[in-house]
Structure 1
Amino acid sequence: MTSIATQLTRRSVNICTDSCCRPMGQMACGECGVIAGFAEQTDMAISRRLFDLGFAEGVQVELVRRAPLRDPVMFRIGSSQMLLRTEEANRILVRIS
């Protein structure tokens, strides 16, 4: 079983305290990164929902496009594309690859 599948079965949300990570909502269009975890000061219910949607540690994510007023933001995760509010995207921390 892969580490992502293991995390999903345990349903554990990881808090990232690494200083080299930045919020996913601050990525540039076309930029790719790997999810490192969630910010500490976030509401865990929302973080859990994002995790259940596939935003888990170790998953590669790409910012595809932004709406004209910069909200919402479209991300590609695997073969799926998802729209998130910038506020929600900023709860997820990524390492840029």
Structure 2
Amino acid sequence: MSTVVDRLCDRCLDVVESCDAQGDCVAMGQLGRGQCGTVAGFQGVDDMTVSRRLFDLGFAKGVEVELIRRAPLGDPLMFRVGNSDMLLRRSEADLVVVRVA
């Protein structure tokens, strides 16, 4: 990776170490249907490739997301990010930590 990409990753792909004492952070895959949250960062990231791809799709820190639909067997999940609807595997959605209002 270039140094510009490294700086971007350091700044935008924050790994969430711990949430507030109030416990208002959850994995994005844990949201209920129609529930909204604001991206707080990423968790359980061993390989930054998946996190970088999620960031490129719009799951950046501070962005509001909403769970639109959940498949009958729980996978995949449909999220609204901005004006786009995206399908993600539950395992990928659980890498993103959101702050629930």
Task: Name the TM-score, length of structure 2 as normaliser.
Answer: 0.81
- The CA distance in 2 between the partners of 1:42 and 1:54, in whole Å, is 20
Instruction: Pick the aligned partner of 2:39 from 35, 40, 48.
Output: 35
Query: In the alignment, what sits opposite 1:23?
Result: 27
Q: CA RMSD in A?
A: 1.5
Instruction: Pick the aligned partner of 1:63 from 60, 67, 91.
Output: 67
User: Which stretch shifts more, 47-56 or 9-18?
Assistant: 9-18
- The CA distance in 2 between the partners of 1:73 and 1:18, in whole Å, is 25
Once the two structures are TM-superposed, the CA of residue 18 in structure 1 deviates from its matched residue by: 2.8
Change (3 A) 1:58 1:86: same
Structure number, greater radius of gyration: 2
Equivalent residue pairs, number: 89
Between the two proteins, what is the percent identity of the paired residues?
A: 53
- The CA distance in 2 between the partners of 1:60 and 1:75, in whole Å, is 10
Once the two structures are TM-superposed, the CA of residue 40 in structure 1 deviates from its matched residue by: 3.7
In structure 2, list runs of 5 or more residues that go unmatched: 1-6
Query: Is residue 37–residue 57 contact of structure 1 (8 Å, CA) maintained in 2?
Result: yes
In structure 1, list runs of 5 or more residues that go unmatched: 1-8
